[in-house]
Chain A
Amino acid sequence: MLQLKNLSRIYQSNEVETVALDQVNIDIEKGEFVAIMGPSGCGKSTLLSIIGMLDKASDGQYIFDDEDVSGYSEAQLSQIRKHHIGFIFQSFNLIDELTVEENIELALLYHNIPADERKQKVAKVMDKVGIAHRAQHMPSQLSGGQQQRVAVARAVVGNQSMILADEPTGNLDSAHGQEVMEMLQALNEEGTTIVMVTHSPSHADYAHRTINLFDGHVVTQSIRQAS
């Protein structure tokens, strides 16, 4: 699915240089479920945003679906992103002024899909994540777990082949966290590639493989033993 070769990301701010990622090499296969772990500030979110094409590397190569996208422009990256990559955030990032249904539909708005087809897709995905009965609610009326389910629905409604999740369970209690993990697992079983940042070893256990980052370096890659 993607390969990172000698990839670095250096933040330059007010004469201070922060090396967030240093010569990282990572391969992720289609259909894989990868967890990324590591202490706070080690570069996990930075890595995820580069994979998600929200940020660009300072150095190194990024090959996505056999295409070297390192030199691509914002607009080109945006095109790839919107067709292939879905995001889930710790803080849900739902738009407060839109209902559940409209929030999910938002992911299709920039895709040139006719309105009735959009409606169908949204209804289907809401069923799938079990939020259909809340379609007309505003995000503020939902619990954290429900909000995250909406976020998951939004991430997959456009048939994205890869989902990037940054601490998706960080703001949830363990029961709701479990729920979200099961949802991700189900998606993965249907073939979606999943890359997830987490601090919870038990949630990392859902993944096929865990990448440990430390201070911008990949320290270990452990493969889960078939249980």
Chain B
Amino acid sequence: MLKNYLLTAWRNIIKNGMFSAINILGLALGLMSCILITLFVREETGYDKWLPDSERVVRMHSAYINPGSQPFLTVRSAGNMMEAVRDYATNEVEQGVRLIQFGASVIQKQDVTAERITFVDPAFFNVFDLPFVYGSKETSFKKPLDLVITEEMAIKYFGKTDVVGQTLTVCCAGPEPSELTVTGVIKDLPKATHLNLDLVIFVLPSIIENNPGLSSWTSVNVYTYFKMREGVSIDEFQQRLTYWVDNESPLSEGLEPGRKVSHNMKHKLMPLEDLHLHAKKDAGNLGDLSPLGDASMINAFSVIAGLILLIACINFMNLATARASQRAREVAMRKVLGASRQQVTIQFLGEAIALVFISLLVALVLVELVLPIYNQALDSELELALFSDPTLLIAIIVIGLVVGLGAGIYPAVYLSRFLPGHILKSNKSTESGRTSGFRTFLVVFQFTASISLVICTVVIYAQTHFAQFVDVGYNSDNKMVLAINRARDKRESLRQELLNLPEIKSVVFSSEAPTQDNENNSFFTLLGSSQSDDASTNQMSNQGQLLNLHNMDYGFFEAYDVAPIAGRLFDQKFGSDEVTSVETGQHAGAASAVLNQSALAKLGFNSAQEAIGRTVAANIRGQQHFKIVGVIPDIYFRSIKFGVRPTIYMLNPQRLNVASISFNTNNPAQLRTQIEQVWKKHVPMQPINLQFLDSMMAAQYNDERIQTRLFSAFSILAILIACLGLYGLAAFTTERRTKEIGIRKVMGARVRDIVGLLIWQFSKPVLIANLVAWPIASFAMIGWLENFSYRINPLWLIPICLAVGTLLLLIAWATVGTNAASVARANPINALRQD
């Protein structure tokens, strides 16, 4: 029985070569897309789940809410929180650990290599039970400054992994290098973790105690993790934490009755397993330990995978039912010979599943072929480990079965419905108007999905492109950015020597370069106005306005071609612009400040001119009064995704982290080497960190670029599959209409008339699909664009929809037309003679 089914199925596949090829190719492309997306989604959703007890680990995120401004969000928390919470919530918390990450360097003989070091509390390996290659969680971290390294680091510095007891010279927070002893070697971490570890060090308590940024209740500089006790839910722990913060923590001391800490400051717990995909909404501008995923992208791509598969299944359904009359006789005969409807249904379902599994094999080969490109596009290391990964194998088999059943059930039920009695009525067409109507409906659906996808792709592309090329308000050409935060004392000598190079036009210092953001914010109070007179009477409760703060040295704006719209820029010749430290109790210091346009409104000025000469007060290196000397336009220092914030600029030499080097050369690579040599001479113990500004700016749009690439690839696939189906359907219809076409030609119709006739038949569904797709895609994309503070005008959707619609119609015409033309050109006698 089975053999007979298989034979019929196989010979049907062979006999209808073209239709089978269309089905197999369509399904294979659909399955390939689905497998590729599944691989990606599986990795993205599997982050950190492989860690032992991962479901019990949570991280504490912080948010500062200041009515009237954007909240300040971060996934870090204050250094003092971990121990206090751990010791208070003993019923909920089993262990707690802090991570502090620094860029540092490893010194070996004369070589200095930049590395990332992570300071942790000794309980680190109790919270993150990472596998050790040498040593163990019990034997490492016995004393402060014990070092645990990854295999990769061990190989890099020692050439082998068995290095417990060896030492490594690490130069970290301070200028003094220290010799650290390796107490353990852990396995390299897989990609699917948000942890980003190379060198892990048991933090020296004094590092935290002596650093006001780390031993603080409000300054958020550490990553705090808790391992909860078994059976404790995150909600219980969260409640307990919020209660403690509001009622028993040092933060709550001295607050007016009725006010709660949690009104202004949130401590939110997030499960470890959610971090990769959901931390983005808590992360603000500071980011996380490793690049975060995007849950909405995962959802979008899952939907796309489903749509593409559906389009491929519809091809199968349409071609199978269109050809039903060819097999009606077989069905009837089987029934005459005693087959039940059920048996016939199962036979056709089996055929569908067999075809899907053939396609699945083709798809797996395709996946292997395109995986390298796919990985490159996604910047990932996905692999199709079918045999070492049984869940993947099962998932793929399940996908095959679901697709087989999904695609096969309708044709099977439809085909098995033929009654044996019909067999006696020779040559009566079994085609009813209803089923060809249903096929048209399915084609409309396919094209609605493809057109929507293409419109979304174009909009996403336009928005990304737009974001990248919008005028940021400053000149970013021909610049390199050199980190100097580890060589602040050497910066002047560096500058002098760099300026000796003829290619270098200027070297200016600032706290951050474009694309960087240290989230430095302070409260500023406007002095001498009627409002602030009110405010000064009530200074304690009025903290002033929160402004974003950037520090720079003279010449910064000039180097970036930023001109003031009112007043002047910082200028050495006034001698009064710089911030100097002020002891508590002394008179407020005096310095100058420049505002951006957004800050004007925030401080209550009606025009730029109005602000010039006014004074704002703030507590920065002591109490200071800043005279506003100039106003510049809003410039997009960060990605325009984030918009512009009210910003104040000042000259604070203590806060300079980077040098912007403007150059003029035909050989940037050579200049780079020259700069590296200068660096090596002045700062031999630190590795250089030098980047081209244009690549830093391009990197801000990496996520969007990846999204656009994937969207484009998958929407092209969707169209391709839909057109394959359309081609099959058209070929079949023309085949059935050869006789009609022959008669029409005998009657005098021209090739043109006939091609037109056939093309019109298939234009209708595409036209209808456009009408359905336009509003759907527009609605979705208007929603998506809302995510951007700076976005393309939604009216662009109209030409985009029209253009995409026309394009798809042309593609459909080309698809149908080639086939129709060859049929129409054939000699009518041939068509009429065959009977």
Segment at the A interface, from B57-65, B335-343, B356-364, B719-727: B335-343
Check B4–A109 contact: CB distance below 8 A.
Answer: yes
- Contact A106 B4, CB 8 Å, known A78-B340, A93-B333, A97-B15: yes
Count how many chain B residues have C-beta atoms less than 8 Å from C-beta atoms of the other chain: 26
Q: A22 contacts the other chain (Cβ, under 8 Å)? A: no
Q: A75 contacts the other chain (Cβ, under 8 Å)? A: yes
- Contact A166 B12, CB 8 Å, known A78-B338, A87-B336, A98-B4: no
Shortest B420–chain A CB gap in Å is: 5
Nearest A residue to B16 via CB reads A97
- B8: contacting residue among A81, A90, A95, CB under 8 A: A95
- A54: contacting residue among B11, B329, B424, CB under 8 A: B424
Q: Given the complex of chains A and B, what is the CA–CA distance between A97 and B419 in angstroms?
A: 20
Q: Given the complex of chains A and B, what is the CA–CA distance between A102 and B329 in angstroms?
A: 16
- Contact A97 B12, CB 8 Å, known A54-B423, A166-B424: yes
- Contact A75 B340, CB 8 Å, known A95-B330, A97-B15: yes
Check A45–B336 contact: CB distance below 8 A.
Answer: no
Within 8 A of A (CB), among B1-37: 1, 4, 7-8, 11-12, 15
Write out the residue numbers on chain A whose beta carbons fall within 8 Å of the beta carbon of B1: 109
- Contact A107 B337, CB 8 Å, known A97-B8, A98-B8: yes
Write out the residue numbers on chain A whose beta carbons fall within 8 Å of the beta carbon of B336: 52, 54, 81, 87, 93
Shortest A73–chain B CB gap in Å is: 11
Write out the residue numbers on chain A whose beta carbons fall within 8 Å of the beta carbon of B15: 96-97
Write out the residue numbers on chain A whose beta carbons fall within 8 Å of the beta carbon of B4: 98, 102, 105-106, 109
Q: Given the complex of chains A and B, what is the CA–CA distance between A89 and B332 in angstroms?
A: 12
- B424: contacting residue among A49, A78, A81, CB under 8 A: A49
Check A48–B424 contact: CB distance below 8 A.
Answer: yes
Shortest B450–chain A CB gap in Å is: 34
Q: A70 contacts the other chain (Cβ, under 8 Å)? A: no
- B7: contacting residue among A79, A81, A93, A97, CB under 8 A: A97
Q: A82 contacts the other chain (Cβ, under 8 Å)? A: yes
Q: A91 contacts the other chain (Cβ, under 8 Å)? A: yes
Check B7–A102 contact: CB distance below 8 A.
Answer: yes
Per-residue CB contact flags for chain A residues 43-63 toward chain B (1 = under 8 Å, else 0) read 001001100101100000000
Within 8 A of A (CB), among B320-347: 329-330, 332-340, 343
Check B421–A49 contact: CB distance below 8 A.
Answer: yes
Q: A224 contacts the other chain (Cβ, under 8 Å)? A: no
Shortest B425–chain A CB gap in Å is: 7
Q: Once A and B bind, how many residue pairs between them come within 8 Å at the CB atom?
A: 71
- Contact A95 B338, CB 8 Å, known A45-B424, A54-B424, A166-B424: no
Q: B139 contacts the other chain (Cβ, under 8 Å)? A: no
Q: A137 contacts the other chain (Cβ, under 8 Å)? A: no
Check A54–B421 contact: CB distance below 8 A.
Answer: yes
Within 8 A of B (CB), among A145-179: 154, 166
Q: A111 contacts the other chain (Cβ, under 8 Å)? A: yes
Q: Given the complex of chains A and B, what is the CA–CA distance between A49 and B424 in angstroms?
A: 8
Check B426–A91 contact: CB distance below 8 A.
Answer: yes
Check B11–A110 contact: CB distance below 8 A.
Answer: no
Check B426–A90 contact: CB distance below 8 A.
Answer: yes
Nearest B residue to A103 via CB reads B333
Write out the residue numbers on chain B whose beta carbons fall within 8 Å of the beta carbon of A79: 338
Per-residue CB contact flags for chain B residues 425-438 toward chain A (1 = under 8 Å, else 0) read 11000000000000
Q: Given the complex of chains A and B, what is the CA–CA distance between A94 and B337 in angstroms?
A: 12
Nearest A residue to B419 via CB reads A54
Check A110–B339 contact: CB distance below 8 A.
Answer: yes
Q: Given the complex of chains A and B, what is the CA–CA distance between A70 and B213 in angstroms?
A: 94
Q: Given the complex of chains A and B, what is the CA–CA distance between A93 and B1 in angstroms?
A: 20
Q: Given the complex of chains A and B, what is the CA–CA distance between A111 and B1 in angstroms?
A: 10
Write out the residue numbers on chain B whose beta carbons fall within 8 Å of the beta carbon of A52: 336
Check B424–A106 contact: CB distance below 8 A.
Answer: no
Shortest A53–chain B CB gap in Å is: 9
Check B337–A89 contact: CB distance below 8 A.
Answer: no
Q: Given the complex of chains A and B, what is the CA–CA distance between A105 and B797 in angstroms?
A: 62
Nearest A residue to B9 via CB reads A97
Shortest B474–chain A CB gap in Å is: 72
Contacts A89-B423, A95-B330, A110-B343 known; list 11 others, CB within 8 Å. A45-B424, A54-B336, A78-B340, A81-B336, A89-B424, A91-B426, A106-B4, A107-B338, A109-B4, A110-B334, A111-B338
Task: Give 3 nearest A-B pairs by CB, closest first.
Answer: A82-B338, A97-B11, A110-B338
14 A-B pairs with CB atoms under 8 Å apart are A45-B424, A54-B423, A89-B424, A93-B329, A93-B332, A93-B333, A95-B333, A97-B8, A98-B8, A102-B4, A106-B4, A107-B338, A110-B339, A111-B338
